[in-house]
Structure 1
Amino acid sequence: MHAVGKLVCLVLAMWTVGVGELAGQTVVVQDETGRAMPVVMVQWSCLESEAVDVFTAGAGGFQWPDVFCQRAEVVFSAVGFETDTLELRRPSGASMTLEVSMRPLVVDLSEAEVGEEGGEPLTFMNALEAGGMYRGVKSAVLSPSSQLVVDGENQTRNVFAALPGANVWESDAAGLQLGIGVRGMSPNRSAHLSMRQNGHPIAADPLGYPEAYYTPPMPFVEEVQWVSGASALQYGSQLGGMLNFKLRRGSWSTAPKLRTLTSATVYAPREGQLRGYFNAFAEVQGGGKRQAWLVGWDQKQGSGWRDNARFQSATVTVGLRQRTNEQPRGVWLFEERFMAMRRTEQQPGGVTDAQMLSDPRRSDRDRNWFEVDWNIGSMDVTWLPQRRDIDVQGSVHGLLASRKSLGFLGTPNRVDPGVERDLIWGDFSSLGWDVRMTKRVVQEDSDRFSALVLGTQGYLGENRMRQGPGLPGADATFGFNPQGPLRPESDFTFPNAQRAAFAQGIVALSDHLSITPGLRVEGISTFAEGTYREVIYDGAGNVIEDSVFQSTNEKRRTVLLPGVGVSWKRPTGEWYGNAVRNFRAVNFSDIQINNLGVVVDPDIGDERGANFDLGYRTANESWTLDVSAFLLLYQARIGLLATTIPDPILVEKPVLLRTNLSDAQTSGLEFAGRGSWSFTENSRTTIVGSFSAMHSRYAKGSLPVIEGNEVELVPKAIVRLSVAHTSGLWSWQCLMQHVANQFTEATNSTYTATALHGLIPRHQVLDLGAQRRWSDSGWSLGLKVNNALNTQYFTRRALAYPGPGILPADGINVRLTLRYSA
């Protein structure tokens, strides 16, 4: 990275030296005489979210568990005292102590005013939260609004600055499509993660086509939750774990409030013309004592950094919440959410290595288009019985979506002949459910509790994938051409079904030590039925064979996934570890879709593996730290192999073979941290960062050509650092990223003439931001400079759309954002 950029961030970091800690916000429970209670069982439930925590408080009281939550329902119980249920507000001062007596209705906190405060940019999942169990599990909770100084962020590399090992593809403008992988797994459409929104799947088909073409706009998102591969016991069998976007919701007892964001992004001039895009966001929310609502809208439109990169995207969301009064049978909570997104974008295609060096903004494809329609609906029900040691959650979710890609799929060193384009059209529909019960057992006269979570989940999907000649022309007209020339085509349906049951428990062995055993059983049925056409040409372009085949493929299997975790809590932090089996079903849709130069092994099978974590984490008001080591084992890992296959014309045809390559393993060290220091009452510096060092190899006994090679898409190091400083109404931020070299296929080739595979070189990127607030009016104005040193780099080599070839990342660009919040 340029020396000037490093110096700017180093100076900001040095400002943080030598400043003391902030005191915590504490709640102390007393008896009727005013003496602190030595042992009190506390069940804390946030009224603004579904966050739930159960713990034991001693004579010193307890710190407010979640800095994001301002109002909570808290149940206090102790031997010899009546159980009390109170609605509490978070203490307003950093050093304020709130005293609560163990007598019915002895404190009225309705007048306690809480000023608007930002949350923490990095925290962890609670031991029990919204029906999930996370004791002894590696996790991270990111708060984009707290971490980023300038509102309306579209650069995903900055959003995930605190997530170690996050390999992010940066190949489109405006953050339209998230491609992220962790621990050396492919970022392609985030397909190796269980992608979720408010806990519900958002991928096209979690079984047969787990690619997520939809990502919620960041202004909609309250926090991003990641749980490692150990989450397979609760969320399904993805090796990369679970990534959940928790959306903003309407607040109880709040008058209608408006929040808007308007931004304009401008790129460096291209042939004397400025390019850029516009982003508008608006949200209105409010609520009463028993109901709350939210309506949001996001619009992006303009052009990207490269030629032929126009786009428009619109997203709308509606969220409703209801809760009942306290009844003899307890409290009921309901939540409904609907999200709709439509996006059309022109895809500039890929470039070769030589073109990347000479002119990365060039595009030789002006007829390639992509369109996505994504509709997601969900309903959640939570029952909190009056006894409060049990809660039950149930949900249903549905998806109706489509994706269409249209264009010329030739390699970037070929000229588009301007004839009929290739069209791939996918339609997806699914319905799923999730029901789980949590039972807590408090051991009297002891600083410990145990818990058991039982759950069942189901999924039914009906999908159709078609490929064939599209209409000629250059505009975004999506339709098949029945009069088109002979070429390979296919039409398949994919009905899939999954039913699962799981159990996971917290077994307290002492006040500090607990284990979390678990077991998941899945019954999976995948089915593919349809036709495909094969056309073979001679060297002169004449058709020598034209055949249509009928194909049916069905797989049924039962998968058993055991796991266990351990947690050892100390006064200064927590040591944790876990081990769990994982499973990933082969994608039938990938087998049937023809990609450029990619041939799928007809005997390809499922992937299996295991995740292991061992780490230490701690947090307080001033800093957060998580340091861990991991081991990820693959069995029959699916990947790409550069090889040849028999061909009637060429005898041996060079291809990329998608197959079960061999067993492999990836190990690494991960670090994530946050430090905050206050100089004065209105001056504060926050450093957030992550580091990951990874080592990967294909195991002995694999194919001789790849034995001992590095696993593809595994950078040896990923480093991200954010330094933010706030002084009065002004804020500044410096964000840095370093990603090491990575290969794109198993032979570890570094160069090919077509640029479909080869080396992705290391790169460093620097972003700078500043924002000015007007606190009395609710307005703020921010300026962000992305890729401030105008580094030329790329993070992806595409095999098909939106390429094929190298997809350059954006050069320097400037974003101006105006924000209003009532």
Structure 2
Amino acid sequence: MKNKSLFLGSLLLAMIASEVAEAKSSALENTSVTRFQQEEIQVEGQVFDTDGSPMLGVSVVVKGTHRGVITDEEGRFTLKADANAVLVFRFLGYQTQEIALNGRSSIRVQMKASTQELGEVTVTSTGIKRQIKDFAGTVNVISASQIKELAIPAVGDAVRFMPGVNYIDEDGRGLRPGIGLRGIEPNRNSNTLVVIDGKIPIGQSYSDMGGYYMMPVGAIESVEVIKGASPALYGSGSIGGVVNIITKKGAARPYTGINLQYGNHNALNIGVETVGNTNEGAMNYYAGFHRRQGDGFRKSRSRYNVNDLTANVTAKVGDKNEWRFFLNGFTEYSETPGGLSQAQWEQDPEQSVNPHDFFEARRFSTAISYKRSFDETNSLTTSVYGSYLKRDWWLDNRNATASKRKFIAALRDIPTVGLFSDYERTNTLFDKENKLLAGIRLHTDVTHEVSVAGDEMGKKAGKTTANSANTVAVVEGYVFDEFHITDKLNINPGVRYTFVNYDKEDYYKNSWDNRNEDAFVYSLGLFYKFSEQYRAYATYSKGYKMPQIRSAFETNGDLDAETSDNYEIGLRTRPTQWLEVELAAYILDFNHKIFRESGLLNNGGKALHRGIEVSGAIYPVEGLKLYGSGAIQKATIEYGMNKGNRVPYAPRYTATAGAKYQCGVGEGTLTTNVYGNFVSSQFSDLANTFEGSANGNVGLIPKFFLLNATASYSYKQWNFNLNALNLLNRKYFTTRHNAWGGIMPAATISVLGGVGYQF
């Protein structure tokens, strides 16, 4: 099997190289042919909003090409296009418009406000996009305007709005959210691939995706969850789907803004950002600094502070070259109050029993991307990225035997570097529209891990008890094609080959180990457009997650590769202007699955996840939006003594429903939201133990319902907002964890009031 996979992988990489070479040749031929077939004219135009005011920063692109400009302060633009070309106009919060020139050299465009926030989704690691409505797979998006209107304090609070998502806030402060998709275990994103701008992985390493960092919402343009064909598009760890965090790029109206929020438990959020463009959109930029701090909801040992600096610059050099630069720096210091026994939880969920524990982290990441458009149908995008994470966690081992009680530390340093290169070709195949994507990825990271045990609580000193370096080197290649059989039907085949070399050096035990892994995954999607109002899709994909082979207190030894066969069907419909619905059904058939019990990961066996997801919105009257999303799922163990039991951390039901109302008040706009989140009960172990154990490590995780409300008022350059989460002050928890000391309480009522101003 391995020889077969190596052969297929070599063949795949050869195909990619062949396609790029052919493209360069084809590009030269096509250029000479089209030069004589089409007449180019210079087009001038002006773009206005619904009130007739000029719009700055509107994207104007010649359809089917990479040629485009951005409107200036007067809403004007100039570009060259074929006399019969179609221009596409896009701007966040407005309907995308396509206007045929029909020989005209001057046009006037009025944009219309859109009820749908975003129309595109990122489908590759270098940022290539596709229209959501025409994508063969389930896609859910939370936009920047929604984040602003809801005054959402953390990314985890945003993903609650998406169907089939189980969100775990590790300690109730939004510092390390855990996201599980379609019944997959959510703890610290260890089984869900989370990336920034489609390329930079947030997880600490390729094999261990557990995250110790999350982008602040102030720097985020949108959050995308992509399912269906994600294994072929994104690779390891994307069986349930991919969470893609899109950062702000600065293509909108230039401004400098400051935002302040203050709430109970001395929570303080500060954001300062500047965004804009120069040379009529040839270069745009974003830079933002965000700080979160507070005392936390626990009565002691719950203080935290987080600092984040993010910068993005995009520069176009001529018509064919585009550069992008990304930089991020992050620091965190937080006290970690730990878990509670069953008795402690029942006595006082807000208490802390860890008087000494704390966590420190520093993370720096960067990416440089270059896009070359050979002609209007061929482009190559290459991104080089790197990051460095230093993560130190000091904690009391709480051993009941005095002589064995130690102040221990898990110290990690993880440098990462990688490269993506994506080739995109839009052409005709057998006289039918065809879009080809082909790419490669190179990646390596080194996890330096040191364990220390000290006798003095609260002191960063002690004796080394473990010292190792785990190195991962990855080579991947993929091909994904969108072939239009008819104007209504297209197919989307995809293949991906992954080869991984894993090297483990244990300096403490003076041992060394090396092994190779490879995988060949594939997908096939079908998309059919009945009409502009009704679209359907179906996908099959082979899923894969790389083995986790490091030594740590979170695993019981080495973990094998996780594999699955995934099936999905879906329907998107917008029968009227006041109703939109998306419905999806799925099956994840795991041949080998990793399970978590009491916080420890273990090798498992066969498991079956199946479910139905729905999301939609109703617009009954002007300004009012009723929205909701939910999932019914059943994830069961299909082997051994626990056959038929539910998979841990896979609730049967999840739902979110709410109402948004927006209206004019004075010279400003008032937006209010009331919504609720429901998650049904979950089990924390394979045996489906119902009664809670005395130490809190095992037992049922009860169902919970959270009521939330927000209000936002925008007046000229000012914005005032109020956010209240868990209004009913429910006492609940979302996880039991052996290493953290049992039950991890979730946040009590949180109220934040804020003000923002744009210069």
Task: State how far apart, in whole Å, the 1-side matches of 2:305 and 2:390 are.
Answer: 17
Q: What is the DSSP-based 3-state SS (H/G/I as helix, E as strand, rest coil) of the residue aligned with 2:106?
A: coil
Task: State how far apart, in whole Å, the 2-side matches of 1:87 and 1:768 are.
Answer: 37
- 1:319 maps to what in 2? 312
| Residue 283 of structure 1, aligned match among 268, 273, 277 | 273
Instruction: Say yes or no: does 1:436 pair with 2:436.
Output: no
- 2:323 maps to what in 1? 334
TM-aligned CA deviation for residue 146 of structure 1: 2.8
TM-aligned CA deviation for residue 717 of structure 1: 0.2
- 2:384 maps to what in 1? 396
* 2:472 maps to amino acid: N
* 1:574 maps to amino acid: R
Task: State how far apart, in whole Å, the 2-side matches of 1:99 and 1:50 are.
Answer: 10
Alignment of 1:204-219 (within 5 A): 204-219=203-218
CA contact (8 A) 1:71 1:90 kept: no
- 1:804 maps to what in 2? 741
Task: State how far apart, in whole Å, the 1-side matches of 2:515 and 2:215 are.
Answer: 33
* 1:813 maps to amino acid: S
* 2:462 maps to amino acid: N
- 1:363 maps to what in 2? 352
- 2:734 maps to what in 1? 795
- 1:481 maps to what in 2? 462
* 2:365 maps to amino acid: I
TM-aligned CA deviation for residue 466 of structure 1: 1.3
Task: State how far apart, in whole Å, the 1-side matches of 2:150 and 2:721 are.
Answer: 7
CA spacing shift, 1:113–1:366, aligned 2, 3 Å: farther
CA contact (8 A) 2:586 2:610 kept: yes
* 1:423 maps to amino acid: A
Instruction: Say yes or no: does 1:742 pair with 2:686.
Output: no
1:144-199 alpha-carbon deviations (Å, 9 max, x no partner): 43335645412545412431111111243542222111111111111212211111
Alignment of 1:648-663 (within 5 A): 658-663=601-606
- 1:426 maps to what in 2? 412
CA contact (8 A) 1:151 1:817 kept: no
CA spacing shift, 1:49–1:351, aligned 2, 3 Å: farther
CA spacing shift, 1:374–1:753, aligned 2, 3 Å: same
CA spacing shift, 1:333–1:122, aligned 2, 3 Å: closer
- 1:817 maps to what in 2? 754
Q: What is the DSSP-based 3-state SS (H/G/I as helix, E as strand, rest coil) of the residue aligned with 2:593?
A: strand
- 1:120 maps to what in 2? 116
Task: State how far apart, in whole Å, the 2-side matches of 1:83 and 1:236 are.
Answer: 41
Instruction: Say yes or no: does 1:578 pair with 2:500.
Output: no
| Residue 583 of structure 2, aligned match among 627, 644, 650 | 627
CA contact (8 A) 2:409 2:451 kept: yes
CA contact (8 A) 2:151 2:721 kept: no
- 2:298 maps to what in 1? 306
- 1:541 maps to what in 2? none
Task: State how far apart, in whole Å, the 2-side matches of 1:83 and 1:671 are.
Answer: 41
- 1:25 maps to what in 2? none
- 1:610 maps to what in 2? 565
Alignment of 1:562-601 (within 5 A): 562-571=522-531, 572-589=533-550, 592-594=551-553, 600-601=556-557
TM-aligned CA deviation for residue 86 of structure 1: 5.4
| Residue 762 of structure 1, aligned match among 703, 720, 725 | 703
1:741-766 alpha-carbon deviations (Å, 9 max, x no partner): 11112111122121112211101110
CA contact (8 A) 1:369 1:407 kept: yes
CA contact (8 A) 1:524 1:558 kept: yes
Deviates more, 1:153-162 or 1:758-767: 153-162
Task: State how far apart, in whole Å, the 2-side matches of 1:177 and 1:820 are.
Answer: 29
1:703-746 alpha-carbon deviations (Å, 9 max, x no partner): 22x12111111100000112111121322211101101111121
Task: State how far apart, in whole Å, the 1-side matches of 2:596 and 2:682 are.
Answer: 14
| Residue 261 of structure 2, aligned match among 239, 251, 263 | 263
- 2:289 maps to what in 1? 297
- 1:773 maps to what in 2? 714
Task: State how far apart, in whole Å, the 2-side matches of 1:579 and 1:410 are.
Answer: 48
- 2:592 maps to what in 1? 636
Task: State how far apart, in whole Å, the 2-side matches of 1:817 and 1:710 are.
Answer: 42
Task: State how far apart, in whole Å, the 2-side matches of 1:51 and 1:758 are.
Answer: 56
Q: What is the DSSP-based 3-state SS (H/G/I as helix, E as strand, rest coil) of the residue aligned with 1:159?
A: helix
TM-score, reference length from structure 2: 0.83
Structure 2: unaligned runs, 5 residues or longer: 1-39, 42-55, 66-74
1:293-315 alpha-carbon deviations (Å, 9 max, x no partner): 22100011221000210011100
- 2:517 maps to what in 1? 557
Instruction: Say yes or no: does 1:497 pair with 2:495.
Output: no
Task: State how far apart, in whole Å, the 2-side matches of 1:240 and 1:93 are.
Answer: 31
Identity of aligned residues (%): 19
Task: State how far apart, in whole Å, the 2-side matches of 1:796 and 1:511 are.
Answer: 48
CA spacing shift, 1:366–1:502, aligned 2, 3 Å: same
- 2:446 maps to what in 1? 462
CA spacing shift, 1:204–1:162, aligned 2, 3 Å: closer
CA contact (8 A) 2:136 2:228 kept: no
- 1:538 maps to what in 2? none
- 2:6 maps to what in 1? none
Structure 1: unaligned runs, 5 residues or longer: 1-30, 33-45, 56-69, 267-274, 533-548, 643-655
CA contact (8 A) 2:389 2:414 kept: yes
TM-aligned CA deviation for residue 131 of structure 1: 2.9
Task: State how far apart, in whole Å, the 2-side matches of 1:502 and 1:47 are.
Answer: 34
Deviates more, 1:119-128 or 1:568-577: 119-128
TM-aligned CA deviation for residue 357 of structure 1: 2.3
CA contact (8 A) 2:150 2:711 kept: no
Task: State how far apart, in whole Å, the 1-side matches of 2:92 and 2:302 are.
Answer: 50
CA contact (8 A) 2:87 2:98 kept: no
Task: State how far apart, in whole Å, the 2-side matches of 1:50 and 1:523 are.
Answer: 41
1:206-249 alpha-carbon deviations (Å, 9 max, x no partner): 43221121111011111111111521112112122211110111
- 1:724 maps to what in 2? 660
Task: State how far apart, in whole Å, the 1-side matches of 2:291 and 2:455 are.
Answer: 29
- 1:166 maps to what in 2? 165
CA spacing shift, 1:670–1:113, aligned 2, 3 Å: closer
- 2:26 maps to what in 1? none
| Residue 506 of structure 2, aligned match among 530, 553, 556 | 530
Q: What is the DSSP-based 3-state SS (H/G/I as helix, E as strand, rest coil) of the residue aligned with 1:169?
A: strand
* 2:297 maps to amino acid: W
CA spacing shift, 1:461–1:83, aligned 2, 3 Å: farther
Task: State how far apart, in whole Å, the 2-side matches of 1:92 and 1:234 are.
Answer: 28
CA contact (8 A) 2:92 2:117 kept: no
CA contact (8 A) 1:91 1:98 kept: no
CA spacing shift, 1:733–1:405, aligned 2, 3 Å: same
* 1:217 maps to amino acid: P
- 2:725 maps to what in 1? 786
Task: State how far apart, in whole Å, the 2-side matches of 1:752 and 1:250 are.
Answer: 52
TM-aligned CA deviation for residue 132 of structure 1: 5.4
Query: In the comparison of the two structures, how many residue pairs are matched?
Result: 683
Alignment of 1:127-142 (within 5 A): 130-131=127-128, 136-142=135-141
* RMSD, aligned CA: 3.3
CA contact (8 A) 1:320 1:337 kept: yes
Deviates more, 1:135-144 or 1:173-182: 135-144
CA contact (8 A) 2:228 2:568 kept: no
CA contact (8 A) 1:73 1:86 kept: no
CA spacing shift, 1:511–1:216, aligned 2, 3 Å: same
Task: State how far apart, in whole Å, the 2-side matches of 1:118 and 1:261 are.
Answer: 26
1:650-683 alpha-carbon deviations (Å, 9 max, x no partner): xxxxxx874322201110000111333443xxxx
Q: What is the DSSP-based 3-state SS (H/G/I as helix, E as strand, rest coil) of the residue aligned with 2:570?
A: strand
TM-score, reference length from structure 1: 0.77
